[in-house]
């Protein structure tokens, strides 16, 4: 067969022959793609994006590193991959977004698992069809050292700055650090963490840089704050089986339309300064006329310098 057309045009060599092996390899790649693949998220399509095909969830383009039998490796891109759901019902769901590669320390157009900041994922093709790839899970990123270094039962995880750990002794800790960049660094480096702990004795504690709230397993409750504390509620009752102490380095004020000292209180308290005025100037009737005021006024120490009433 000549590779020249009547007008002298030279045909590419690939158009001159037919390879059954190459044709079958192409068919298998498209419709019998059953191998588990590993790759990197390179593009994201939220449901609001016109290029999102299913409108069921966020879709992703995944660039995979594939071994072509004994012919070497190449990068293959799978378009609009949806993430497998762990629950799959209307009432119960668990959704998350994966991180798209933003930076890479190697030549553009290539895909490596390391030296890049995108999520590393595993995909399988539904019905073996290459255009129906599904992300079935993640794979440890080569640039993130593991936090689990022994074989004891434990758990560790983090998503966008919210870290969860469960230690071998049962201690569970949730740490809010603030949103993170793709490399794990904080978006706001000045952010201080908030930590929620359930300790191995059952004690519960929440703390940040300025507040600590602790419910100890012994039964003690402690709240420590560097700022003001406000409690708003409908009705409040405080019962103590032992002593009760209220201490302040400044003033302590009790304000209410009616203040009862004692559950069955009926008598009114005396206003000390007003009473002193009346006491120091009061007189008594006598057979020869009103008496004079007391010869000894009420001494000032009689009045409290700490407790005031209105």
Q: What is the pLDDT of residues 118-133, one digit of tens each?
A: 999 999 999 999 999 9
Q: Residue 110, Cα to own-chain centre: how many angstroms?
A: 34
Give the distance between the most distant pair of CA atoms in the chain: 154
82: Cα separation from own chain's centroid = 24
**What are the Cα distances from residue 59, in Å, to 23, 128, 173?**
30, 19, 32
Query: Is the pLDDT reported for residue 2 higher than 60?
Result: no
The structure's pTM equals 0.77
Tokens of 290: 């009103």
Average pLDDT over residues 174-184: 97
**H-assigned helices in the chain:** 20-31, 272-281
β-pair type (133-138, 73-83): parallel
Token couple for 137: 């899970």
- What was the pLDDT predicted at 152? 95
- Pick 169 or 278 by higher pLDDT: 169
Confidence of residue 26 (pLDDT cuts 50, 70, 90): low
* 262 or 145, greater pLDDT: 145
- Is the pLDDT confidence value at 77 over 80? yes
Domain ranges in the chain are: 13-138, 155-225
Residue of 75, 39, 43 lying closest to 59 (CA atoms)? 43
Mean pLDDT calculated for residue range 77-81: 95
Cα dihedral: 286, 292, 297, 298 (round 10)? 40
**Dihedral in degrees, nearest 10, Cα atoms 297, 300, 303, 309:** 90
Q: Is the pLDDT of residue 4 over 70?
A: no
pLDDT (average), residues 222-239: 93
Based on its alpha-carbon atoms, the radius of gyration of the chain, rounded to whole angstroms, reads 39
Indicate if the alpha-carbon torsion angle 254, 258, 263, 269 is positive or negative.
positive
């Amino acid at each position: 067969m000549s590779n020249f057309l009547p007008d002298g045009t030279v045909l590419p060599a690939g158009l001159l022959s037919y390879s059954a092996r190459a044709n079958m390899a192409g068919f298998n790649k498209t419709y019998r793609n059953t191998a588990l693949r590993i790759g990197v998220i390179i593009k994201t399509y939220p449901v609001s994006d016109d290029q999102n095909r299913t409108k069921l969830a966020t879709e992703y383009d995944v660039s995979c590193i594939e071994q072509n039998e004994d012919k070497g490796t190449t990068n293959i891109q799978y378009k609009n991959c949806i993430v497998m759901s762990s629950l799959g019902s209307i009432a119960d769901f668990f959704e998350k977004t994966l991180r798209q590669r933003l930076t890479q320390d190697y030549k553009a157009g290539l895909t490596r698992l390391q030296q890049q900041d995108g999520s590393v994922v595993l995909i399988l093709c539904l019905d073996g069809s290459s255009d129906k790839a599904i992300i079935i899970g993640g794979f440890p990123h080569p640039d993130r050292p593991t936090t689990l270094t022994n074989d004891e039962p434990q758990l560790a995880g983090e998503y966008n700055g919210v870290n969860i750990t469960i230690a071998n002794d049962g201690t569970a800790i949730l740490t809010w650090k603030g949103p993170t960049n793709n490399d794990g660094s904080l978006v706001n480096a000045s952010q201080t963490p908030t930590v929620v702990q359930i300790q191995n004795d059952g004690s519960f504690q929440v703390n940040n840089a300025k507040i600590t709230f602790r419910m100890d397993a012994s039964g003690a409750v402690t709240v420590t704050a560097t700022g003001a504390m406000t409690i708003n509620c409908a009705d409040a009752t405080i019962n103590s089986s032992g002593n009760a102490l209220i201490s302040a380095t400044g003033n302590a004020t009790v304000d209410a339309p009616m203040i009862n000292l004692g559950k069955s209180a009926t008598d009114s308290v005396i206003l000390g300064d007003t009473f002193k005025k009346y006491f120091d100037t009061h007189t008594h009737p006598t057979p020869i006329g009103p008496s004079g005021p007391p010869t000894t006024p009420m001494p000032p120490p009689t009045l409290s310098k700490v407790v005031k009433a209105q």
